[in-house]
Amino acid sequence: MPDVSLAPHIITTIYGWPITNAMLASLVLTVLLALVGLYARATFRLVPTGLQVVFESMTSFFMSQLQDAFGSEKRARRFFPVLTSLFIFILLANQFSVFPLITSLIRDGVVVFRTPTTDLSLTIGLAVVMIGGAHFIAFSRAPLGHIGNFIKIGPFFKVRSFAGLFDAGIGFFLGFLDIVGELAKIISMSFRLFGNVFAGEVMVLIIASISASTAYVLPIPFMVLSIFSGFVQAFVFMILATQFIAGTVGSEE
């Protein structure tokens, strides 16, 4: 049985803060992405070449996706940077184990880089930021109206009959179910991403370690499958975040 652990290993501590291998990997990835972005901006030309073509086609594709979700171009433009960088980050983070030698670096018996999205803390963090951010924007736009969506006291003031009171009571309790639903969104988004990526890695690891004959050729189809599912999950995470933000923030402006 290969050594599989759900929790990332702690490499070192800085002033009592544990630094895990997943955190280090996501930090390196973030810095690399920022550098590539700055390089692409510095070499921007009227006639696109190489890297610029990739960025431009990605921009136009995601702008059309976001316009479908948000309805207006102005609003799509506002949420475009955070959602697209979320997609690029998750996409590259899922493929971390594909690059050779990076995940084989070992210091003091601990792997130095671990695929960032196989750490549940990262996926929960991303989901909390997305859902929490959507609620923060909706709250700062219309505080009472947003709270009124969840704690439904408003209908009680419009009650005319006994049956109306009954309906308002049911609506009041359904409001609490909506609060649970928001928490469930965070759990479902983060567990979906974590489970897919982690399962892909564990499957390759277990198949490679069954016997010497399965260690070389047999894991390749499963690696291809895990690359594909990493791509799909990054896209799904981004689309779900878009839909939740569009649904929470609303379409009024």
> Which residues within the stretch 214-233 sit at the binding site for another protein (CB under 8 A)?
232-233
> Which residues within the stretch 111-130 sit at the binding site for another protein (CB under 8 A)?
none
| Residue 196 or 226 with smaller CB distance to another protein | 196
| Residue 115 or 152 with smaller CB distance to another protein | 115
**Contact code string over 182-211 relative to another protein, x by CB under 8 A:** ------x--xx-xxx-xx--x---------
User: In this chain, which of 98, 137, 218, 236 binds another protein, going by CB under 8 A?
Assistant: 236
Taking residue 76's Cβ as centre, other Cβ atoms within 10 Å add up to: 21
To the nearest whole angstrom, how small is the minimum distance from the Cβ of residue 154 to another protein?
A: 33
| Residue 78 or 192 with smaller CB distance to another protein | 192
User: In this chain, which of 6, 35, 38, 153 binds another protein, going by CB under 8 A?
Assistant: 6
| Residue 199 or 220 with smaller CB distance to another protein | 199
Reading the block at residue 217, the tokens are 């050729």
Q: Does 239 bind another protein (CB under 8 A)?
A: yes
User: In this chain, which of 4, 142, 165, 170 binds another protein, going by CB under 8 A?
Assistant: 4
| Residue 134 or 197 with smaller CB distance to another protein | 197
Reading the block at residue 109, the tokens are 């018996």
To the nearest whole angstrom, how small is the minimum distance from the Cβ of residue 83 to another protein?
A: 15
> Which residues within the stretch 93-112 sit at the binding site for another protein (CB under 8 A)?
none
Phi then psi for residue 105, to 5 deg, are -70, 130
C-beta separation of 20 from 11 below 8 A: yes
To the nearest whole angstrom, how small is the minimum distance from the Cβ of residue 194 to another protein?
A: 7
| Residue 233 or 248 with smaller CB distance to another protein | 233
| Residue 6 or 27 with smaller CB distance to another protein | 6
Residue-by-residue DSSP string for the chain: -----SSPPEEEEETTEEEEHHHHHHHHHHHHHHHHHHHHHHT--SS--THHHHHHHHHHHHHHHHHHHHSSHHHHHHHHHHHHHHHHHHHHHHTTTTSTTGGG-EETTEES---GGGSHHHHHHHHHHHHHHHHHHHHHH-HHHHHHTTS--GGGGG--SHHHHHHHHHHHHHHHHHHHHHHHHHHHHHHHHHHHHHHHHHHHHHHHTT-GGGSSSTHHHHHHHHHHHHHHHHHHHHHHHHHHHHHHH-S--
User: In this chain, which of 69, 149, 235, 250 binds another protein, going by CB under 8 A?
Assistant: 235
Distance CA 38, CA 43 (A): 9
To the nearest whole angstrom, how small is the minimum distance from the Cβ of residue 6 to another protein?
A: 5
What does the binding site for another protein look like in residue numbers (CB under 8 A)? 4-7, 188, 191-192, 194-196, 198-199, 202, 232-233, 235-236, 239-240
